[in-house]
Structure 1
Amino acid sequence: MITEASERDLEIMASQLGRTMRGVIGIGARCACGAPTVVVTSPRLPDGTPFPTFYYLTHPGATASASHLEADGTMAELQERLREPEVADAYAAAHAAYLADREAHGHVEEIAGISAGGMPTRVKCLHAVLAHALAAGPGVNPIGDLTLALGEWSPAVCVCAPGARGSAAGMPAP
């Protein structure tokens, strides 16, 4: 479920990424403390640029975890998992779900049929599939779920810097 992004959320994400966010629709997932973990971005940015990455990972701990898995060769292992018919079918369904989620916020012809992370046939970016898995919930993106399970970060345990924490109720701190 997408929640509204508050001014505090936007400040936290700017701190997380080192830049101001563009085209924010809302927050797709939060840390245990309530800080943003996944931002949901408009399929067309305010300047008119098509933006296929509907779910974008912002949390430094989650980003580092995905980066470590990419660096240690896990991405190739996950690519091999796509040889399993049930994993391949679930990954194709994740691609379709991603496209449907984005399309609900506007059709952009330039990115029609393009999701993220290499879906539906490749594992190209663990950050993107992890963001999708966190926003969509368990069981939607099998490669994103595996990325979460194999990584050293968990959304259930806050590792946010004190100034980047929200409240445990899922709303940003004042």
Structure 2
Amino acid sequence: MGLLPPATAPEVPVTDPTPGSPAVDPSTDPSAGSTAVTDGDLQVLAEQLGRTPRGVVGIAARCVCGRPLVVRTAPRLPDGTPFPTTYYLTHPGAVAAASRLEAEGVMKEMTARLGEDPELAAAYRRAHEHYLARREELGHVDEIDGISAGGMPTRVKCLHVLMGHALAAGRGVNPLGDEALDRVRDQWRPDRCTC
């Protein structure tokens, strides 16, 4: 999937939340090169969300046109609220596609498969651990220690979270997030702009 580097508008003073990360191939890791937040990004996010974005520390994945798909959020919001959802899906088309899958009962079916398929369960547990490690890079919050998001590691309760994680981390990290993205390809896909 082709992603554009961050826009060149003036940056909001945020530091790169992933110092020391291993080098990644931008063609396989959508978050590579997409951590800076610009004033323009914050305006787009407000438009996408219908409210002022809170706790944004980076853009974890971008549309091919450069607009945000997924934000990386601080584990504690500015008002002090613990916030476990590190990767927050913002693109309206992706959000709508995730909502349609949820309405079709996909979460229940995926959760059942976790109990039947040890390999899938192990891969999903690794996704949970990845999520926790990436959030811990942003700071430790006791209230959410060990709690990731989206139902990981034992169930599926939010496809928005799983799709956001898959878009941010790249294919192969969150198996159910990857599957959800595959299931919505006829409605929305990250390699085609629908902004």
TM-score normalized by structure 1? 0.90
Distance in 1 between residues matched to 2:167 and 2:87, nearest whole Å? 9
Structure 2: distance between partners of 1:19 and 1:97: 29
**Runs of 4+ that moved beyond 2 A:** none
Aligned length: 160
2:78 counterpart residue number: 46
Q: 1:147 aligns with which of 168, 180, 184?
A: 180
Q: Which residue number in structure 2 is paired with residue 76 of structure 1?
A: 108
84-93 or 71-80, which deviates more: 71-80
**1:103 to partner: Cα distance:** 0.2
The residue matched to 1:61 in structure 2 has which SS? Answer: helix
Percent identity between matched residues is 64
Return the letter of the residue paired with 1:90.
A
Task: Provide the TM-score with structure 2 as the length reference.
Answer: 0.80
2:53 pairs with 1:18: no
2:60 corresponds to: 28
1:139 maps to amino acid: G
Query: What letter matches 1:150 in structure 2?
Result: R
- Tell me which residue corresponds to 2:124: 91
Q: Which amino acid aligns with 1:20?
A: T
Unpaired runs of 5+ residues, structure 2, are 1-30
Higher helix fraction (1 or 2): 1
Q: Any unmatched runs of 5+ in structure 1?
A: 161-174
Q: Which has the higher contact order (CA 8 A, sep 6+)?
A: 1
CA distance in 2 between counterparts of 1:75 and 1:47 reads 31
Note the C-alpha offset of 1:81: 2.3
Please give the root-mean-square deviation of Cα atoms over the aligned residues, in Å.
Answer: 0.8
